[in-house]
Amino acid sequence: MKKFYPVLFLLISTLNFAQVDQKKLDELIQNTLKTFDVPGMSVGIIKDGKLIYSKGFGVASLTTKKPMDENTLVGIASNSKGFTVTALAILADEGKLNWDDKVSKYIPEFKLSEAYPSQEVTIKDLVTHRAGLGLGAGDLMFFPEGGTQTVNDIVKNIRYLKPNYSFRNGMEYNNVMFIVAGEIIHRVSNLDWADFIEQRILKPVGMISSFGSYDHAKNVLNKIGAHAPINGKAVQVPHDWNDTANAAGGIMSNIKDMTIWADFLMNGWTTKDGKKLVSDKQIQQIWQIQRPISVALKNPYDTHFYGYGMGWFLSDVKGHFQVQHTGGLIGTVTQFTLIPDMKLGIVVLTNQQSGAAFNTITNTVKDNYFGIEDRNWLKTYGDRMQNYDIKIAKGKADVFAKSDSFSRSNSVPKDSQFIGTYADKWFGDVDIKKEGKNYRFNPKNSPRLKGTLLPYSENTFIVKLDNQSYDADEFITFNFDENGNATSAKMKPISDVTDFSFDFGDLDLQKVK
């Protein structure tokens, strides 16, 4: 997620975590909640195999007002990708697959848009984001919740996604490839992905409170409500996750279990009873950069290398190897950080969408273990996000002001020019019709993305989504033929704040009737 909503900031004195000063850490977390309008957060620190800190703050839900604690379940989102890769490593150790196996060996119907990559793409390509697809390409097949496409539909429709770079010649973060990886686990093991994760990983590791999917956790009372800012204030919104994408982000866990997971990974992927779930051979591949990512020459942690392994972002920080991932759903973001040679793990789980909040906590804890004098990350991120929000708010206000002005002109396209049904090969049909005085945008396969069309220019409307918590209003620009009738349409966000998973920009809408 890319949404940050500061309210105020308070200065925090230097923390010294050589021995954790819990009072000062408590204070930092409380002020972080206030600064970024986060209803609830849980934080865990594990050092040298000992749980140093494990607490929840605020409320799990603004509706119920139940407190957030270390047992409160949170959707860890893309931090689930590390579990998907672990599952593949277990199957590799058992001789049931190989990282360099072609995807078509297990899913014969799998194809990309081009012949050569379709034949050559491997399991490793899936989990290293190097198959050629763009950032978030295809996410609208499962995101937001309520869509109709199954895993098999997603596998079939991937062939219609256009590449954003040549095969294995780049890296852009992509979720649908992890869905394919999850389907390989299913076909090889004959277990649903969530069942495999629970039986082969969560239970042996000791993560007894965690679940492989939100659906499996429906009867648990102690779990968060999702929250998103609307008009600058966090409100509770419906939980949003589609089980078709569990392999990309479906796990529900809590601080107690995630610190157990951290300890397991830093101890050679070995359980408390001494069982090694993954061989060193596999670990070396997983925690080895497969795709490098450029890093600024000057950066806060003197980082020289950065990149993606398999299911993990890898870098050096102040001379130490760091393993990290974040996760974001509508209404929640999480961060998981390991510095294995220091035996240090830091976990931050939230029920709002502020990445600035988890970065404030993680960086402050990390700095103090490095012996770095307090850099006041709370003020840094608070100021940054305050300026960012002002910029975003002004940009959106300007867009809607122009729309309001243009709507009173004589240049608004007539109904007959653009009303009709438009089809995209992987997203499906979109009906644009008039309901009362309003023009409406109605995607057949994703009913939660309905919205109202507002005139913007001679060939462009704003799609103002009914659900404003998505913060994903879009431009839709029609292409007209020589008679002034629309033949196709393209879309793009009206603001940079829109999360990349709302990948409307990848749609190629062709008018079919």
CATH number at residue 428: 2.40.128.50
User: How many whole angstroms separate alpha carbon 235 and alpha carbon 129?
Assistant: 34
Q: What's the chain's average pLDDT? A: 93
234-259: per-residue pLDDT in tens?
Answer: 999 988 778 899 999 999 999 999 99
58, pLDDT greater than 70: yes
The answer to whether residue 378 is domain-embedded is: no
Taking Cα atoms as reference points, which of 294, 307, 257, 303 lies closest to residue 130? 307
The verdict on 170 and 287 lying in the same domain is yes
The verdict on 349 and 428 lying in the same domain is no
- Determine if the peptide bond prior to 144 is cis (ω within 30°): yes
Kindly indicate the confidence band of residue 15, based on its pLDDT and cuts at 50, 70 and 90. Answer: very low
Lowest mean pLDDT among 17-26, 286-295, 339-348: 17-26
231, pLDDT greater than 90: no
The verdict on 51 and 191 lying in the same domain is yes
464-491: per-residue pLDDT in tens?
Answer: 999 999 999 999 999 999 999 999 999 9
User: How many whole angstroms separate alpha carbon 281 and alpha carbon 122?
Assistant: 18
The verdict on 146 and 259 lying in the same domain is yes
CATH code for the domain in which residue 238 is found: 3.40.710.10
The answer to whether residue 23 is domain-embedded is: no
Residue 35 · residue 8 · CB < 8 Å: yes
Domain finish residue from 285, 319, 353: 353
The answer to whether residue 97 is domain-embedded is: yes
The verdict on 185 and 300 lying in the same domain is yes
96-148: per-residue pLDDT in tens?
Answer: 999 999 999 999 999 999 999 999 999 999 999 999 999 999 999 998 877 78
The answer to whether residue 391 is domain-embedded is: no
SS (H, E, C) 60-99: CCCCCCCECCCCCEEECHHHHHHHHHHHHHHHHHCCCCCC
The verdict on 318 and 442 lying in the same domain is no
Lowest mean pLDDT among 31-35, 393-397, 410-414: 410-414
The verdict on 272 and 126 lying in the same domain is yes
Q: Quick one: average pLDDT of 346-360?
A: 96
Looking at residue 116, its pLDDT comes to: 93
The answer to whether residue 31 is domain-embedded is: no
The answer to whether residue 122 is domain-embedded is: yes
Looking at residue 207, its pLDDT comes to: 98
229, pLDDT greater than 70: yes
Taking Cα atoms as reference points, which of 130, 119, 121, 117 lies closest to residue 100? 121
422-469: per-residue pLDDT in tens?
Answer: 999 999 999 999 999 899 999 999 999 999 999 999 999 999 999 999
Q: Give the tokens for residue 247.
A: 């392999």
- List phi, psi (to 5°) of 286: -65, -45
Taking Cα atoms as reference points, which of 307, 310, 308, 363 lies closest to residue 335? 363
259-276: per-residue pLDDT in tens?
Answer: 999 999 999 999 999 999
Q: Which domain holds residue 152?
A: 38-353
351, pLDDT greater than 80: yes
Domains held by the chain: number: 2
The verdict on 176 and 301 lying in the same domain is yes
Q: Quick one: average pLDDT of 51-69?
A: 96
Q: Quick one: average pLDDT of 23-36?
A: 96
The answer to whether residue 320 is domain-embedded is: yes
Kindly indicate the confidence band of residue 333, based on its pLDDT and cuts at 50, 70 and 90. Answer: very high
The verdict on 440 and 343 lying in the same domain is no
With a pLDDT cut of 90, the percent of the chain lying above it is 89
Kindly indicate the confidence band of residue 19, based on its pLDDT and cuts at 50, 70 and 90. Answer: low
3, pLDDT greater than 60: no
Looking at residue 349, its pLDDT comes to: 98
Domain finish residue from 317, 336, 353: 353
Angle at 399 between CA 398 and CA 405, to 5 degrees: 85
Domain finish residue from 322, 338, 353: 353
The verdict on 331 and 473 lying in the same domain is no
The verdict on 336 and 204 lying in the same domain is yes
The verdict on 343 and 425 lying in the same domain is no
Q: Which residues contact 499 (CB under 8 A, 6 or more apart)?
A: 1, 2, 3, 136, 328, 470, 471, 472
User: Is residue 96 exposed (0-12), middle (13-18) or buried (19+ Cβ within 10 Å)?
Assistant: middle
20, pLDDT greater than 80: no
The residue ranking higher by pLDDT, 335 or 11, is 335
363-387: per-residue pLDDT in tens?
Answer: 999 999 999 988 999 999 999 999 9
Q: Quick one: average pLDDT of 408-432?
A: 94
181-217: per-residue pLDDT in tens?
Answer: 999 999 999 999 999 999 999 999 999 999 999 999 9
Looking at residue 144, its pLDDT comes to: 86
The answer to whether residue 262 is domain-embedded is: yes
The H or E element spanning position 23 is: helix 22-36
